[in-house]
């Protein structure tokens, strides 16, 4: 409060007569003090905590206008990236920088500088003085997710985790078009075993029913995929996905008018209908005024979307196994690499054409069946993963191979750091 009062006094003092002779002597002689000079003073302030400002400071006459400075636009992010990359040696093209600006939608000047510095550190640790796209991807993963925990999955759990995330990724790529996949990983973090994160390709401020349904499909893909690929069995790892799907479905049915009714349960709850407690009626709950079947409608909506998700996964069974193998081998994939594996095209870090062969399809299916048997018997997987690029994908063989193929993610150097 002392600081606030001092600031208010200084702001008001600019308009009062100043000087001892002017204020005291002239009054003693019966003369009015001279008015202060008409200064043309513009007071400007900036804060990142507007909620902490006192109302007395913001009243008209002191601070008359308030401007909110948001995040930079994509064009601004591109120019900022170009400015920082000009200061270091790099191999990024204009398309790469444009893509980087797209996948970092809320980046500020400070975060952009930090990401470029981190990419340079990654390059130097790998024995290079030029930044490549792989270095940028690794730096972005480190900044977004933090350093991964130094743990190794056993074969069947690694496969199950990769398949869980592959189901999310394939459904997101096939069904959700208002978002693009940013990164998919099975590297364990503090609160997750793996994750698939998505970002907006454009600056949008509204969302439609079809888009929310696609979000629910992506969330339910883990449950549908685990039951489909593991003979009806499922893990506790789907709990957060079910929570997200249920929350979206609840808002669709009860608040946004995207369900079978148009009633807003936010209003009915505030006025005391449907168990909300009516204001001024001593805690009574008039649940008989509206017998709502909201819970049943949410379950029916989720069940309908779950069936669509199961059908989509059945149509893309091979693509799920291909992305699963790519995640087991590389641990982390970019959205472009997932697209390459699903479509069978060359990607920035992974060559997806190698996955679309009859030989790999048969080997991937056989390996998965062996994992399911090992899962049911709580035993070890008795066969290695299918071969790609002349390199096995099992943890022991990856550790023995100190120089992975160029299209594979380099796990050894990251762990050494």
pLDDT of 393 reads 44
On whether both 97 and 186 belong to a single domain, the answer is: no
Confidence of residue 405 (pLDDT cuts 50, 70, 90): very low
On whether both 133 and 172 belong to a single domain, the answer is: no
Q: How far apart are CA 366 and CA 381, in angstroms?
A: 12
- For 386-410, what is the mean pLDDT? 45
Q: How far apart are CA 227 and CA 225, in angstroms?
A: 5
Count Cα atoms within 13 angstroms, Cβ side, for 181: 28
Query: What's the CATH code of the domain at 107?
Result: 1.10.8.60
* Mutual angle of helices 155-175 and 335-343, in 10-degree steps: 90
| Structure-model confidence comparison of residues 72 and 34, the more confident one | 72
Active site residue 152: no
pLDDT of 193 reads 83
**302 domain residue, yes or no:** no
Contact of 222 with 164, CB cutoff 8 Å: yes
**88 domain residue, yes or no:** yes
**232 domain residue, yes or no:** no
**283 domain residue, yes or no:** no
Give the chain's mean pLDDT: 83
Structure tokens at 145: 């997710």
Contacts of 54 (CB under 8 A, 6+ apart): 4
Structure tokens at 54: 């006192």
pLDDT of 39 reads 66
Contact of 319 with 345, CB cutoff 8 Å: no
In the chain, % of residues over pLDDT 90: 51
283-338 pLDDT, tens per residue? 444 444 334 578 888 999 999 999 999 999 999 999 999 999 999 999 999 999 99
Confidence of residue 200 (pLDDT cuts 50, 70, 90): confident
Ramachandran angles phi, psi of 225, nearest 5°: -70, -45
Contact of 160 with 227, CB cutoff 8 Å: no
pLDDT of 342 reads 96
Pairing of strands 195-199, 332-334: unpaired
pLDDT of 310 reads 97
**310 domain residue, yes or no:** no
| Structure-model confidence comparison of residues 360 and 55, the more confident one | 360
Q: Identify the domain containing residue 38 by its residue range.
A: 2-58
Annotated active-site residue in 165, 187, 213, 226: 165
Contact of 237 with 230, CB cutoff 8 Å: no
- For 108-117, what is the mean pLDDT? 95
Burial classification of residue 221, based on how many CB atoms lie within 10 Å of its CB (0-12 exposed, 13-18 middle, 19 or more buried): buried
Instruction: Provide, for the chain, the percentages of residues in helix, strand and coil under a 3-state DSSP scheme, each rounded to the nearest 5.
Output: 55, 5, 40
pLDDT of 80 reads 96
Confidence of residue 163 (pLDDT cuts 50, 70, 90): very high
pLDDT of 286 reads 42
Dihedral class, residue 389 (left if φ above 0, else alpha if ψ from -120 to 50, else beta): left
Confidence of residue 280 (pLDDT cuts 50, 70, 90): very low
On whether both 198 and 335 belong to a single domain, the answer is: yes
Q: How many domains does the chain have?
A: 3
Does pLDDT of 381 surpass 50?
Answer: yes
Structure tokens at 58: 């913001």
| Structure-model confidence comparison of residues 234 and 275, the more confident one | 234
What does pTM read for this prediction?
0.74
Q: What is the DSSP string of 46-65?
A: --S-GGGS-HHHHSTTTS--
């Amino acid at each position: 409060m002392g600081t606030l009062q001092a600031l208010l006094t200084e702001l008001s003092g600019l308009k009062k007569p100043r000087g001892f002779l002017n204020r005291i002597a002239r009054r003693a002689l019966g003369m009015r003090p001279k008015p202060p000079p008409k200064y043309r003073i513009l007071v400007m302030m900036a804060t990142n905590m507007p909620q902490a400002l006192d109302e007395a400071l913001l009243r008209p006459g002191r601070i008359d206008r308030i401007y909110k400075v948001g995040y930079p636009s994509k064009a601004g992010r591109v120019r900022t990236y170009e400015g920082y990359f000009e200061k270091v040696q790099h191999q990024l093209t204009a398309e790469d920088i444009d893509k980087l600006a797209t996948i970092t939608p809320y980046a500020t000047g400070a975060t952009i500088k930090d990401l470029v510095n981190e990419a340079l550190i990654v390059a130097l640790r790998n024995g290079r003085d030029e930044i490549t796209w792989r270095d940028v991807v690794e730096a972005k993963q480190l900044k977004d997710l933090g350093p991964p925990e130094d743990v190794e999955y056993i074969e069947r759990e690694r496969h199950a985790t990769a398949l869980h995330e592959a189901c999310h990724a394939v459904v997101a790529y096939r069904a959700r078009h208002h978002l693009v996949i940013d990164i998919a990983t099975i590297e364990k973090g503090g609160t997750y075993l793996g994750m698939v994160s998505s970002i907006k390709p454009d600056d949008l401020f509204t969302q439609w029913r079809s888009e929310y349904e696609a979000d629910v499909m992506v969330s339910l893909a883990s449950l549908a995929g685990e039951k489909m690929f593991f003979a009806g069995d499922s893990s506790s790892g789907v709990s957060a996905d079910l929570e997200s799907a249920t929350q979206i479905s609840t808002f669709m049915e009860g608040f946004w008018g995207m369900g079978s009714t148009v009633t807003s349960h936010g209003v009915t709850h505030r006025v005391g209908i449907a168990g909300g407690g009516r204001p001024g009626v001593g805690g009574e709950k008039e649940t008989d005024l509206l017998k709502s079947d909201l819970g049943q409608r949410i379950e029916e909506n989720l069940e309908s979307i779950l069936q669509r998700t199961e059908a989509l996964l059945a149509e893309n069974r091979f693509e799920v196994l291909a992305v699963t193998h790519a995640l087991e081998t590389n641990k982390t994939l970019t959205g472009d690499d997932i697209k390459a594996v699903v479509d069978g095209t060359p990607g920035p870090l992974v060559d997806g054409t190698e996955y679309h062969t009859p030989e790999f399809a048969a080997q991937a299916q056989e390996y998965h069946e062996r994992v399911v048997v090992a899962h049911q018997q709580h035993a070890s997987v008795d066969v290695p993963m299918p071969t790609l690029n002349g390199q096995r994908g099992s943890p022991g063989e990856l550790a023995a191979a100190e120089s992975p193929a160029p299209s594979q993610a380099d796990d050894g150097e990251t762990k050494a750091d």
